[in-house]
Amino acid sequence: MNTTIHIGQLLNDYFDKHRTRKAALARLLQVKPTSILRYQKRDSLQISILINISHALKHNFFMDIAQQLPQEYTTTKPIFAEKDLEIENLKKEIHTLKTQNNLLMQLMGK
């Protein structure tokens, strides 16, 4: 099992994919552009720095990290609980609409 998650590489991949301007990011974070370059080379970062980068770029790097961990690992908060609830509500709505559609078809004689 690979236990190493290189945060600098995670940032590099994001920057490349999204063509992130590091100077603009540095201004948002109120740090020197060289700080961004140092972050890209480091295998780990303080959580507060990664939180600030996440907020500045509006990207959840913590979810990217979580996706690299084995699925059987536990968490204190269900990640997809809200989505699962939304899916269940949509299923109920589909069932109701199908029932209404069938009733209308019967009333119209089709």
Q: What are phi and psi of 80, to 5 degrees?
A: -110, 20
pLDDT in tens, 5-15: 999 999 999 99
pLDDT in tens, 30-73: 999 999 999 999 999 999 999 999 999 999 999 999 889 888 88
- End-to-end CA, the chain: 60
How many of the other CB atoms lie within 10 Å of CB of 64?
16
CB hemisphere CA count around 44 (13 angstroms): 4
Give CA angle at 51 (48, 78), nearest 5°. Answer: 115
Domain count for the chain: 2
Q: Which CATH number is 65's domain given?
A: 1.10.260.40
If asked whether residues 85 and 109 sit together in one domain, one would say: yes
* Alpha helices (runs of H) in 1-110, residue ranges in sequence order: 7-18, 22-29, 33-41, 47-57, 61-66, 81-107
pLDDT at 2 over 70: no
pTM: 0.69
If asked whether residues 43 and 53 sit together in one domain, one would say: yes
pLDDT of the residue at 97: 96
pLDDT at 16 over 90: yes
What domain range is 92 assigned to? 74-110
The mean of the pLDDT values for the chain is: 91
Mean pLDDT over residues 97-105, rounded?
94
If asked whether residues 68 and 99 sit together in one domain, one would say: no
pLDDT at 81 over 80: no
Residue 39 burial by Cβ neighbours in a 10 Å radius (0-12, 13-18, 19+): buried
